Amino acid sequence: MGTIFKRFAPHRVLFSSPLLRPLPGRAAEFNTCSRCLAEQTERNSSMPPRLLSEVDAKGRPLPAQKPRTRRNASDYGEFPKWKVLSGTILIGVIAYDMHTNSIDPEHPDEHLEAPTIAERDALIKRESGVSPSSSMRLRMEAFIKEQQASIVRELEAVDGSRFRIDEWERPEGGGGRSCVLQDGKIFEKAGVNTSVVYGTLPRPAIQRMRANHKALDPDVEALEFFAAGLSLVLHPVNPMVPTVHLNYRYFETANADGSPNAWWFGGGTDLTPSYLFDEDAIHFHRTIKDACDKHDKSYYERFKKWCDDYFRVKHRNESRGVGGIFFDDLDEAEKDQENLFNFVQDCCKAFVPSYLPILQKRATLPYNDQEREWQLLRRGRYVEFNLVHDRGTAFGLNTPGARVESILMSLPKQASWSYMHAPKDGSREDRLLAVLRQPKDWV
């Protein structure tokens, strides 16, 4: 049996292959069958061997079959109705799936999720770099990084110490570089940070921002946003050297295709002395005014008042320092994007000439423990403003994925609070408080 059927298809197996061995007690029958088979074989010895598929079980030739012909659908009779119904259901399921998943059969790629603006910008930077024709997002990012590197070099040259540099990334997109110097010869703590943040604004945040930016679409549930800024705070060792702050930033919301939806610039710089030297305040304000006047003669006066109003420690009824300039939400209602970008660049570049001459003049002046204690008390007021009133600090801390260490870089390493402290009448400390309670014009 095994010899007859082993590997017979599709090979030619002859019918004359050996037969099964007979079972015990069936020898006679087997011999009879063998004789018949021998006679049949002798009769057919002149015939060619046949395929197993051409004979029946007894070795007789099978009747010839007609060649197969192609049939038409009508030859099968009526098509079963259950098959028609099954096909209809299948087509319906496919159509429903395409509808609920918003798949256009003629444009199957349209259902794929569009790249975020963070992904778009990363691709452009890798493939093309940043040029004058790049988007404002990329140009502002490049500018603040360039200024950060330049300012850090200047401050390291003055202090003689090196900044610690930390680079970080946000899972949502973007990142930043934090440059911090602590316990230096000139600076007790100095920080120069850049941050580039990508994210999504929820509907409530969009509604709040529309108060100042009517270009924001009020009907969307969320908008992608981009924010980039350079922030600087220097807390010197010597109480005779003023603390200084600088921040320049750009904010943009984007449409689904990555194009700008709304945009604006903000920023400013201000001086916070513990001991007031009028000539220092005058130099600082005059340098800033020169930068403003190059773009609009009304800028300095407007933005100085804005600074005096914004940097107000309201619960103390005094200003944080002797001011500078501050502005926010400057968009197309103010000037076109290029003009405002040029204005921000000039103000930022004015920082070094506005502050370094003051630093170099005061850093070697002598001071005593009482003056050091007054410096720490004034730093306490600085902390109060930053944690209670500053919008930038609040925005940073409430942004998902925020880097807290970089946001709180602005706080001094040491500060002090003394219960019911009041300076002596007519003292230098008393004069400073008088100026802080009633801001004055310096130029």
Active site residues: 245
Smallest CA-to-CA distance from 236 within 393, 376, 427 is with: 376
> From start to end of 203-317, where are the E strands?
222-236, 243-254, 260-272, 312-313
Is there a contact between 223 and 217 (Cβ–Cβ < 8 Å)?
A: yes
DSSP code per residue over 55-94: B-TTSPBPPPPPPP-PPPGGGG-SPPHHHHHHHHHHHHHH
Is there a contact between 237 and 187 (Cβ–Cβ < 8 Å)?
A: yes
Residue in this structure with the two tokens 């910008």, named with its chain if needed: 121
Sign of the CA dihedral with 435 first, then 377, 249, and 152 last: positive
- How far, in Å, CA of 48 to CA of 18, rounded? 18
Side-chain-side CA neighbours of 8 within 13 Å: the count stands at 15
Per-state percent for the chain, helix, strand, coil, to nearest 5: 45, 20, 35
Q: With 0-12 CB in 10 A as exposed, 13-18 as middle and 19+ as buried, what is 250?
A: buried
Smallest CA-to-CA distance from 289 within 303, 276, 308 is with: 303
**Angle formed by the axes of helices 136-159 and 337-349, nearest 10°:** 10
